[in-house]
Amino acid sequence: MLKGKRILLVVAGGIAAFKSQELIRLLRKHEASVRCVLTEAGAKFVTPLSLQALTEDKVYSDMFSLTDESEMGHIQLSRDADLLVVAPATANILGRMAAGLADDLATTVLLATDKPVLAAPAMNVRMWTHAATVANVETLRQRGIHFVGPNDGVMACNEYGPGRMSEPAEIVAAIESLLSAEKPPLEKPPLEKPMAGKRALVTSGPTREAIDPVRYISNHSSGKQGHAIAAALAQLGAEVTLVSGPVNVPDPAGVKVVKIESADQMLDACLAAGKVDVAVCAAAVADWKMAVPAGSKLKKKPGAAPPALELTPNPDILAALSKPGAKRPTLVVGFAAETENVVANAVEKRTRKGCDWIVANDVSPATGTFGGERNTVHLISAQGVQDWPTLSKDRVAMQLAGAIALHLTRPRPAEAAE
Ligand code: C5P
């Protein structure tokens, strides 16, 4: 269906520009004609000569070239196509498009065109999740610009998350979908499964410590973050056991859920899960339990003082799982919910508990983290502290699952020595 279609491909300056060459080859195979506009930064990644050879056409890059203008003006260039494709669409070119700039040939043709535009973003995960890029993409979407990707995956910069340019075949499918009225809307490509064959254990939610058969000590943990992590690890292909205290969030799909109440039961369930590659302790385990829970309901007696509750510490599940030995998971991740000195306390907690990573978050009431949808976290490892931007709990979960996958499947030399 692409036979005879004319695609104007804008190649901007990103490492993914090398994939644009494969895109051209695929489009030509489908008998579409491709003409390229190469930005100055794009030319640092691919040469005009290689694009010219692949397209069998002139490559345009200079806004003020008299030859270009005499052969074909930029207005004509922008309209003499059925579709404009920006691949890779870097944070920079998306920003310039959103601002309506026309400061080079690429942005000028994009501003001058009356044809549909499809952008295939490609950038570092933090650039993609930065509020400025999010706002630019939203603006462009509202103006009718179409997007394909980005995909989640491992990036050139060794981070994991959304930002990888869609594969050339996915971009071709998106082009076909746009140029054909009958085709269904673009679908998200399937996620990679880097955790296939790995086992994961996740704790989530609060625990309940019985005072007597009807009363208990507990906390406000919603289980949203822990459940999202279990779901994300399962999406990446891991076999996941989720040990959860009482919560109101649904069981994640594709995860074995073990429901418990007390910290003692949570510890037993964790040990019963057997050897795992990664343990993520996101549960808000009660610090104390009754030294001896009452066997029957404590009675109010007229005139008598309230009962003194004698407490004793609960087992520390994170510390137990972190103990060195054959059964220790390759990676143990704890959480630190703090209301002050968030990073400093978490750094100290990592050493004290013996775990590998700590995900630290500020849960002071003003942040709305407890029970809320968003989370601002810092990832603390032996390598130092990574400050993540404020993200939805699902996105934090996916980014953490991605970092875990990266760690378990591609240990870097510095970490291998941890
Ligand atoms: O000591 P603190 O409760 O601040 O530590 C928080 C981290 O330790 C979390 O990862 C939590 O799931 C874990 N934890 C645990 N068992 C406990 C207390 C905390 O696994 N008894």
Q: What is the pLDDT of residues 306-346, one digit of tens each?
A: 999 999 999 999 999 999 999 999 999 999 988 889 999 99
pLDDT for 387: 85
Q: How far is the CA of 307 from the centre of ligand 1 (A)?
A: 28
What's the Cα-to-Cα distance from 173 to each of 148, 183, 343, rounded to whole Å?
10, 10, 45
CB atoms within 10 A of CB 400: 25
Q: How far is the CA of 285 from the centre of ligand 1 (A)?
A: 6
Could you report the per-residue pLDDT of 163-206, keeping only the tens digit for each? 899 999 999 999 998 988 544 444 444 556 889 999 999 999 99
Indicate the domain borders of the chain. 6-179, 199-290+307-416
Helices (H), 273-339: 317-322
More confident residue, 186 or 230: 230
Amino acid at 227: H
Could you report the per-residue pLDDT of 237-289, keeping only the tens digit for each? 999 999 999 999 999 999 999 999 999 999 999 999 999 999 999 999 999 99
Q: Strand, helix or coil at 281?
A: strand
Given 36, 157, 270, 355, which residue is catalytic?
A: 157
Quick one: which atom of ligand 1 is closest to the CA of 338?
4
Q: Out of 285, 287, 343, 349, give the residue to mutate to test ligand 1, the one with the largest number of ligand atoms within 8 Å of its CB.
A: 285
pLDDT for 188: 45
CB atoms within 10 A of CB 92: 16
Q: How confident is the model at residue 118 (pLDDT cuts 50, 70, 90)?
A: very high
Active site residue 157: yes
Q: Is the CB of 45 under 6 A from ligand 1?
A: no
User: Across all residues in the chain, what is the average pLDDT?
Assistant: 90
- Helical (H) or strand (E) element with 170: helix 168-179
Helices (H), 202-275: 224-235, 263-272
Region 373-390: mean pLDDT is 86
pLDDT for 390: 80
Q: Would the pTM of this model clear 0.85, i.e. be above it?
A: no
Q: Do domains 6-179 and 199-290+307-416 have the same CATH topology?
A: yes
Please state the CATH superfamily assignment of the domain spanning residues 199-290+307-416 in this structure.
CoaB-like (3.40.50.10300)
The domain made up of 6-179 has a fold known as: Rossmann fold (3.40.50)
Going by CA atoms, what residue is nearest to atom 8 of ligand 1? 318
